[in-house]
Amino acid sequence: MKNNIITERVHVPKTGDSVISCVHAAYTKIMGKPSENTDHIRGNTDISITPQTTQTGINPQITSHVVIGGDFPVICGDFSEIALPFLDLPDNVIEVNFPEMSDFSFQILFDSPVIYIATVQSTMSQIEYVSLGDGVNFFVYEFRDLIDYAKPVIDLLSQKTIVGYDLKPTLKYLVSQFKADWKADCLPKRCIDIKILSQLLWYAKSATLPKDSDLSLPQLARKYSHIDLLVLDSDELRLSWRYSKEQIQCANRCFILPRLEKALNDELRDIDYQDLPIVIESFCSSDIVKIELAGMPINREELEPIKQEATERMEKHRKWLKEAGLHNPNSADEALKFLRSKGIRPESVRKEDLKRFPDNLAVRNYLEYGASKYIAGYIESVLKAGDDRIFPNFDQVGAASGRMSSHSPNVQGIPQEIQDIFYKAPMGRAIIHADYPAIDLRSAAIIAQDEVLIECFKAGGDPHKIMAAKLSGKPVDEIEKDSPERKCGKIINLGFLYGMGADTFISNARKYDAEYSTEEAEDFKRKYFEAFPGIKGWHEKTKEQLKYSTEKLPERDGWEKVITVQTLAGRIMKAVGLSKALNYQVQGTSADIMKIAMNLFHYICREINLDANIINVIHDAVDVECATDQLEDVKAALKEAMEQAANIILRQFKTVVEVE
């Protein structure tokens, strides 16, 4: 293997030592025996260490590095402030080519508990160079040469904690090119992703969304390590005549990782960020890779005709609207003007507002046009993503709360109309589904320390029935699961939990085909807080905190009410306003639980050799594909993983999960 940089600490060179003696000392230490000849060494071997040598990097006062590798100059030294991975000494070059050194880099790396990894891509979006390091020693390889070392590389990555920047694409590429069986435990158990660490820190210190450039590796290096990677690359390229720009970039990006890891962790500790959410994210990274590599089987046979029918309906309603005077139904302003000309006064063209006019023919056609267009467009995006199997992307930290998101296509937003037929398991496979019962209310119960909800969950009760009983005056045990009273109770519980006002509640209730007056909504809100006094106290405490906490936010006019909140696991977030302050705590806690459950499920499957993989995660729900002959074992494993995860965080009551 060529193009590997090997660094090994030897001894403190003294004035008068020859450079060649340093090379031989390094070889002896690395190989365990002295070099038998000097045929591998070319250059001015008579150079001695002098005080002037320190100007080019060899400092007699600190331990020096000797760099040995095929086709590379061999001497570089530590700098007192910044140790550059690459440094040529044009006047003092010793060149070494010990063929037996090719495998030694892996010996060094296997001795380290942590491996740092960076890559540089070619213009074809393929990885051209890979740099691996242990925090002191850094090695650069041409990726095509690493193919011959696929097994040791996979063994290395699967046995160590891996640190890198935006690791998911790199891990997926390595698994693909090495033709590794990702189900066979070839991925790292733990990944410390610098990008995800920076996201956690960003959301803990800022109430705004970051731009991509805010969390880029060069920006993070400048901000937290005071190193400009672009300048570093340029300076080293000027000093070198043997290294390509890509090699230098690759090594520098690996070199910066341990410094960024320490700086970001120091910043998180300074704000009392808890270890648990950091650990949760580090174990979740490989789970996300597995989900993306697994993909999901779709029911193309049934989706295609549904798309065709939706397209035909869309055209039918578009034609009606055009003949009625609405030429561009995709323009909200034009549509609102058109609808108001039909004798109604909707506040907007949102579905929730237009549902107030069910008998208006223009409204019905407009809503049908929008629904048909959405279904047809969604199915089209799914069908374009693959054949019988699609491979969506998941963002591990897709929101400030820590919730995941998905895209290309968005499989967390499957329309209700096609949810039952969306998947189609291949022959010999089955798909199972599980979700947490009232997970947000469970999280809120403990965050708010609401004794009514806590006792309800301890007894295995239904909080929606409690709310329904409060409204109807009936005993709780007379409220049926599918009754209108329970449905109303559920709408109220989910609506007022996050601080909705009456108007927002009315609009939100229309999503469930329920219509309430302002007086009814205000009455519901009063009874909701009567039913759950702990939730009321939590709301009032949060409002009081917001009174005295304001910030001037970038890209916003004026001052905003901003407070710092955290999940039960200790994830810290800054939130603007009451709704987000409440929401982040609850949904963030639920997200922490789900990420623990994902990792526990994959762990159980590895331990008892189950052929199963998660194919989708929709906030509080999980879809799993498995072998049909292991169906019951997989259902039991999923139930165990999800219940254990919930019980780790929600310790005041047990959470029972049903798997379908």
Is residue 231 packed enough to be buried (19+ CB in 10 Å), middle (13-18) or exposed (0-12)?
exposed
**pTM of the predicted protein model:** 0.84
- C-alpha–C-alpha distance, residues 206 and 54, integer Å: 44
Final residue of a domain: which of 497, 531, 565?
A: 531
Residue 4: its pLDDT value, please? 37
Whether residue 344 lies inside any domain: the answer is yes
pLDDT beyond 60 at 20 = no
Residue 33: its pLDDT value, please? 65
The band of 238, judged by pLDDT with boundaries at 50, 70 and 90, is low
Task: Tell me the per-residue pLDDT of 146-184, one tens digit each, with 9 for 90 and over.
Answer: 887 788 888 889 999 999 999 999 999 998 888 888 776
Picking from 26-40, 180-194, 341-355, 602-616, which range would have the lowest pLDDT averaged per residue? 26-40
Picking from 13-17, 335-339, 589-593, which range would have the lowest pLDDT averaged per residue? 13-17
The band of 10, judged by pLDDT with boundaries at 50, 70 and 90, is very low
Residue 236: its pLDDT value, please? 57
pLDDT beyond 70 at 478 = yes
In this prediction, residues 476-491 reach a mean pLDDT of 83
Whether residue 139 lies inside any domain: the answer is yes
Q: Which residue has the higher pLDDT, 150 or 304?
A: 304
Residue 355: its pLDDT value, please? 82
- C-alpha–C-alpha distance, residues 642 and 598, integer Å: 8
Q: How many domains does the chain have?
A: 5
- C-alpha–C-alpha distance, residues 207 and 72, integer Å: 48
The answer to whether the CB of 30 falls within 8 A of the CB of 103 is no
Residue 31: its pLDDT value, please? 55
The answer to whether the CB of 615 falls within 8 A of the CB of 638 is no
Final residue of a domain: which of 496, 531, 566?
A: 531
Is the domain of 622 the same as that of 567?
yes
Is the domain of 555 the same as that of 518?
no
φ and ψ at residue 83, rounded to 5 degrees: -95, 110
Is the domain of 571 the same as that of 517?
no
Residue 384: its pLDDT value, please? 94
Q: What residues make up the domain containing 318?
A: 299-385
The band of 532, judged by pLDDT with boundaries at 50, 70 and 90, is very high
CATH code of the domain containing 617:
3.30.70.370
Picking from 84-88, 175-179, 288-292, 441-445, which range would have the lowest pLDDT averaged per residue? 84-88
Is the domain of 204 the same as that of 159?
yes
Whether residue 397 lies inside any domain: the answer is no
Task: Tell me the per-residue pLDDT of 585-594, one tens digit each, with 9 for 90 and over.
Answer: 999 999 999 9
In this prediction, residues 468-497 reach a mean pLDDT of 84
Whether residue 394 lies inside any domain: the answer is no
Residue 89: its pLDDT value, please? 33
Residue 509: its pLDDT value, please? 78
The band of 43, judged by pLDDT with boundaries at 50, 70 and 90, is very low
The label of the residue with tokens 């040791």 reads 152
Is the domain of 521 the same as that of 592?
no
The answer to whether the CB of 620 falls within 8 A of the CB of 439 is yes
Percent of the chain's residues with pLDDT above 90: 53
**What tokens does 371 get?**
């629904």
Percent of the chain's residues with pLDDT above 70: 82
The band of 380, judged by pLDDT with boundaries at 50, 70 and 90, is very high
Vertex 357 angle, CA 351 and 362, to 5°: 85
pLDDT beyond 80 at 235 = no
The label of the residue with tokens 């994902």 reads 598
Whether residue 391 lies inside any domain: the answer is no
In this prediction, residues 130-137 reach a mean pLDDT of 85
Whether residue 445 lies inside any domain: the answer is no
- C-alpha–C-alpha distance, residues 106 and 153, integer Å: 8
**What tokens does 439 get?**
């997970």
Is the domain of 261 the same as that of 337?
no
Residue 66: its pLDDT value, please? 37
The answer to whether the CB of 394 falls within 8 A of the CB of 370 is no
Is the domain of 43 the same as that of 190?
no
Picking from 296-300, 369-373, 556-560, 640-644, which range would have the lowest pLDDT averaged per residue? 556-560
Q: Which residue has the higher pLDDT, 133 or 68?
A: 133
pLDDT beyond 80 at 87 = no
Is the domain of 233 the same as that of 222?
yes
- C-alpha–C-alpha distance, residues 171 and 150, integer Å: 13
The band of 353, judged by pLDDT with boundaries at 50, 70 and 90, is confident
pLDDT, averaged across the chain: 82
pLDDT beyond 60 at 344 = yes
pLDDT beyond 60 at 210 = yes
pLDDT beyond 60 at 401 = yes
Is the domain of 424 the same as that of 335?
no
Task: Tell me the per-residue pLDDT of 406-441, one tens digit each, with 9 for 90 and over.
Answer: 999 999 989 989 999 999 999 999 999 999 999 999
- C-alpha–C-alpha distance, residues 81 and 638, integer Å: 51
- C-alpha–C-alpha distance, residues 494 and 464, integer Å: 9
The band of 443, judged by pLDDT with boundaries at 50, 70 and 90, is very high
Residue 327: its pLDDT value, please? 93
> Sign of torsion, CA 437 443 444 449?
positive
Picking from 101-110, 445-454, 606-615, which range would have the lowest pLDDT averaged per residue? 101-110
Is the domain of 76 the same as that of 185?
no
Is the domain of 93 the same as that of 206?
no
What size, in residues, is the chain?
Answer: 660
Is the domain of 633 the same as that of 551?
yes
Residue 279: its pLDDT value, please? 96
Whether residue 393 lies inside any domain: the answer is no
Q: How far is CA 58 from CA 48, 63, 660, in A?
A: 11, 9, 66
- C-alpha–C-alpha distance, residues 602 and 274, integer Å: 24
pLDDT beyond 80 at 605 = yes
pLDDT beyond 80 at 640 = yes
Final residue of a domain: which of 101, 136, 164?
A: 101
pLDDT beyond 50 at 660 = yes
Residue 13: its pLDDT value, please? 42
Q: 118: part of which helix (H) or strand (E)?
A: strand 114-121
Q: Which residue has the higher pLDDT, 191 or 56?
A: 191
**Which amino acid would we find at residue 180?**
A
pLDDT beyond 50 at 41 = no
Whether residue 201 lies inside any domain: the answer is yes
